Amino acid sequence: MKIVLEHLTKKFPNRNKKIKEYVIAVNDFDYEIPDGKLVGLLGPSGCGKSTVLNLISGLEKPTQGKIYFGDDDVTELPAENRGVGLVFQNYALYPHLNVRENIRFPLENLRGKDKLTRDEMDRKVFETAKLVQIEGLLDRKPSEMSGGQQQRVAIARALVKKPKVLLLDEPLSNLDARLRLQTREELKRIQVETGITTIFVTHDQEEAMSICDTIVVMQDGRIMQQGNPQDVYDKPDNLFVAKFLGTPQINVFKGVVRAGSVFIGTDRVYRMEEDLGDRDVYVGIRPEGFIPDDSWNGRSEASDDKERLICEFRKLEVMGRDSSVLCANEFFEGTMIRAIVASGTGIKTPGGEVAFTIKPNKIHIFDAKTGKVLH
């Protein structure tokens, strides 16, 4: 089932009573979640991700805007009638109930025509436990299981009523690194197998990029960009998104555009086909976008007008297949530039400097004032 969020806004009174202004947790959020897809809601802590989920589930009422499930307006529908499955970071299982009873719990209070017999409940519990691969643990108590297993129980409990929508709020954050990787693959499998429209909230960009069909990047309650993860990575609309996606982070420099060329300091690093007009810009270069230039023998020798970026060489970190060339440049916005090259690449450092040419699809130019992408 598709979900349409129409100009959703949620304002909260400030938790600090002395501050009179409202907190705008979600700000004119306009988005359609396609049927049967896994959508990642991504952004830094406090950007409004949980509030968006709570609005969809009905735990919160929007200040403005509408929510549709399919063609039905559910904006005023109470949470319990929305057919939504929820999973939170802290599994929230009942400690005194075993796994079977925990998963069965949502089925127990079905009434009227939906009421189930004990046998029907047992069958549904078993089917769902099997889906998340914990059918062998039905008699255990939560305290007798690992974090990953407990989270599977929580997922089973959310799925047992066959919800129309599954909402996951940072479900992997309490797991250790290895389990987190494994469980995220599991989540993807379960989502594909059930075909349930799923919204997965995380602050971890790698997690979202690896399993989601679509990602929505948020800042301050607003959508900064949405789309297929690879497209958003390759074509960020703004500096915020460019910086938020990718580890190691994109390298950002202060630069200028003059007559169609991009300069960092006096180095012409890139020539463009189009004329953006002369202006101040931020130049973002992905770590994988640097090619060490072995034709370069130091500033005194360079007489060609090839595009290059010259940096002070600091350190080479070899990490198996790849190496990081760490270097500095006075126009760089962070502490250390990180260029990732294949291990074994020859790095020349005449006069303590290193020169790079930049891969055209790995350089992004942003307006210095608005942060909007120009190229």
DSSP code at position 249 = P
Q: In angstroms, what is the minimal distance from the CB of 221 to Mg ion?
A: 12
Longest Cα–Cα distance in the chain: 87
Q: In angstroms, what is the minimal distance from the CB of 86 to Mg ion?
A: 13
Is residue 53 within 8 A of residue 169, CB to CB? The reply is yes
Nearest residue (beta carbon) to Mg ion:
50
For residue 103, give the 3-state DSSP assignment: helix
Q: In angstroms, what is the minimal distance from the CB of 243 to Mg ion?
A: 20
Task: Kindly tell me which of 50 and 323 has the beta carbon lying closer to Mg ion.
Answer: 50
Q: In angstroms, what is the minimal distance from the CB of 260 to Mg ion?
A: 44
- Report the alpha-carbon distance of residue 346 to residue 341 in Å, rounded: 10
Q: Does 50 bind Mg ion (CB under 5 A)?
A: yes
Task: Choose the stretch contacting Mg ion; rule: CB under 5 A; options: 42-50, 110-118, 282-290, 318-326.
Answer: 42-50
Q: Which does 12 bind (CB under 5 to 8 A by kind): Mg ion, ligand ADP, none?
A: ligand ADP
Q: In angstroms, what is the minimal distance from the CB of 333 to ligand ADP?
A: 25
Angle at 212 between CA 211 and CA 218, to 5 degrees: 125
Sheet of strand 72-73: strand arrangement: 22-33, 3-13, 64-69, 72-73
Residue 239: φ, ψ to 5°: -65, -35
Is residue 279 within 8 A of residue 287, CB to CB? The reply is no
What is the contact surface with ligand ADP in residues (CB under 6 A)?
12, 15, 23, 25, 43, 45-51
What is the crossing angle of helices 147-159 and 118-131, to 10°?
Answer: 130
Q: In angstroms, what is the minimal distance from the CB of 52 to ligand ADP?
A: 7
Q: In angstroms, what is the minimal distance from the CB of 50 to Mg ion?
A: 3
Residues 6+ apart with CB under 8 A from 111: none
- Report the alpha-carbon distance of residue 122 to residue 136 in Å, rounded: 14
Residues counted in the chain? 375
Task: Choose the stretch contacting Mg ion; rule: CB under 5 A; options: 44-52, 154-162, 179-187, 250-258.
Answer: 44-52
Task: Kindly tell me which of 154 and 216 has the beta carbon lying closer to ligand ADP.
Answer: 216
Task: Kindly tell me which of 51 and 357 has the beta carbon lying closer to ligand ADP.
Answer: 51
Task: Kindly tell me which of 47 and 56 has the beta carbon lying closer to ligand ADP.
Answer: 47
- Report the alpha-carbon distance of residue 111 to residue 134 in Å, rounded: 28
Residue type at position 292: P
Q: Which does 15 bind (CB under 5 to 8 A by kind): Mg ion, ligand ADP, none?
A: ligand ADP
Task: Kindly tell me which of 50 and 150 has the beta carbon lying closer to Mg ion.
Answer: 50
Q: Which does 25 bind (CB under 5 to 8 A by kind): ligand ADP, Mg ion, none?
A: ligand ADP
Task: Kindly tell me which of 25 and 341 has the beta carbon lying closer to ligand ADP.
Answer: 25
By the criterion CB under 5 A, which residues form the site for Mg ion? 50
